[in-house]
Amino acid sequence: MSTQLIKLSRIAGWIVILLGAIHSANTFFVIRDVAIFDAMWRGTILFMYVAAGLGCLLAGGGMLLSTADAIHKTIIAHHIYLISAIFMLLLGIGAPIAMSFNPFGYISLAVGVFAVAVAILRYRHSVISVPKYAIDQ
């Protein structure tokens, strides 16, 4: 895989990690706002908020893992990156729908589209660069 694709993959991974860290750190400020809801909804809202932040951290970690020198040339690395990118795209699609007033929803949508575009380029590059003898076997 080319160094440009590795750099793009790492950039996407670090952006996703940053979004997850900001989302997780913001939980302490959201606790005040959630206090106005009924007790039944408080736990659900906080759980979903924390889960979205941790999900971003996990997806970003998967993206960065797929760029590690030891595995970045394997098909498993492409799969890990693709799954993480699709997860971010799904979060990015759902965020503006659920919170149209929040700019982070639109940022996560843009990051998800960017990550999936990089994943497609990774697969395209890996198919093109497969040696002929590997296809014949």
Q: How far out from the chain centre does Cα 69 lie?
A: 20
In sequence order, what are the residues at sequence separation of 6 or more whose Cβ sits closer than 8 angstroms to the Cβ of residue 54?
A: 20, 24
Residue in the structure block whose two tokens are 């759980």: 47
pLDDT, tens digit, for every residue of 26-68? 888 888 888 888 888 888 888 888 898 999 999 999 999 999 9
CB 45 within 8 Å of CB 37: yes
| pLDDT score recorded for residue 18 | 95
User: In this structure, are residues 82 and 124 in contact, taking their beta carbons and an 8 Å threshold?
Assistant: no
Q: Tens digits of per-residue pLDDT, 13-24?
A: 999 999 999 989
| C-alpha torsion angle, residues 111, 20, 85, 12 (rounded to 10) | 50
Amino acid found at 59: A
Rg over CA atoms, the chain? 18
Nearest to 62 by CA among 51, 46, 78, 44: 78
pLDDT band at 112 (very low <50, low <70, confident <90, very high): very high
